[in-house]
């Protein structure tokens, strides 16, 4: 699936639809931000990327991947459908691209799994950001890979 918005081009692809360059770009962006920038050693390659039903939402400016998230079918990481690995490149921050990414992710989730509840494991400092999109916290804060998180859900 392909969609263009302003200077962003969005693609939502299954693992098998990804080119080797797209796969490299998304893994590099995730590692650059989650492992290097956030100084967090964790199992980035968790086999969920290639699981049947998983989709990857890629946001490009020109040929550069600047935004990404993955959409996971129910039963993968949560009982419900989930959105994870939400990330924007440092050069793209402060320009509303993160908002576009989440809006696209929620819309794509609705296309793939109409009417389904969406669950996320949000970094705690982003709780208010996700609340603006209708997500509500349903867990106590917990540490995941050394970073405080909270489980949140968006019920349709």
What are the structural domain ranges in the chain?
2-154
pLDDT in tens, 112-155: 999 999 999 999 999 999 999 999 999 999 988 778 999 999 99
The answer to whether residues 130 and 152 touch, using CB atoms and an 8 Å cutoff, is yes
> What pLDDT, in 10s, does the model give residues 63-111?
999 999 999 999 999 999 999 999 999 888 888 899 999 999 999 999 9
Closest CA to 130 of 150, 114, 109, 156: 150
Q: Which CATH superfamily is domain 2-154 in?
A: Gcn5-related N-acetyltransferase (GNAT) (3.40.630.30)
Helix spans in the chain (H): 20-30, 97-112, 127-131
What pLDDT is stored for residue 52 in this prediction? 94
For residue 122, what are the CA distances in angstroms to 18, 57, 153?
Answer: 26, 18, 10
In whole angstroms, what is the distance from residue 87 CA to residue 67 CA? 6
* Cα 97 to the center of its chain, rounded Å: 13
Contact status, residue 103 vs residue 111, Cβ threshold 8 Å? no
Chain centroid to Cα 36, Å, comes to 18
SS3 10: strand
Q: What is the pTM of this model?
A: 0.88
Query: Please, what is the Cα angle at 112 between 108 and 113, to 5 degrees?
Result: 115
Give residue-wise pLDDT tens across range 41-63: 666 778 899 999 999 999 999 99
Terminal-residue alpha carbon distance, the chain: 23
pLDDT of residue 147: 83
């Amino acid at each position: 699936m392909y969609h263009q918005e302003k200077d962003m081009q969005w693609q939502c692809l299954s693992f098998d639809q990804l080119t080797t360059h797209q796969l490299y770009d998304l893994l590099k962006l995730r590692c650059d931000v989650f492992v290097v920038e956030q100084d967090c050693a964790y199992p980035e390659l968790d086999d969920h990327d290639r699981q049947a039903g998983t989709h990857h939402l890629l946001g490009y400016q020109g040929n550069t991947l600047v935004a990404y998230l993955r959409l996971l079918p129910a039963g993968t990481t949560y009982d419900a459908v989930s959105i994870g690995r939400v990330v924007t490149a440092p050069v793209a921050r402060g320009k509303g691209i993160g908002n576009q990414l989440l809006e696209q992710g929620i819309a794509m989730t609705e296309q793939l799994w109409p009417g389904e509840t969406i669950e996320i494991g949000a970094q705690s400092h982003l709780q208010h950001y996700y609340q603006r999109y209708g997500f509500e916290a349903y867990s106590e804060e917990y540490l995941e890979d050394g970073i405080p998180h909270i489980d949140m859900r968006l019920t349709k």
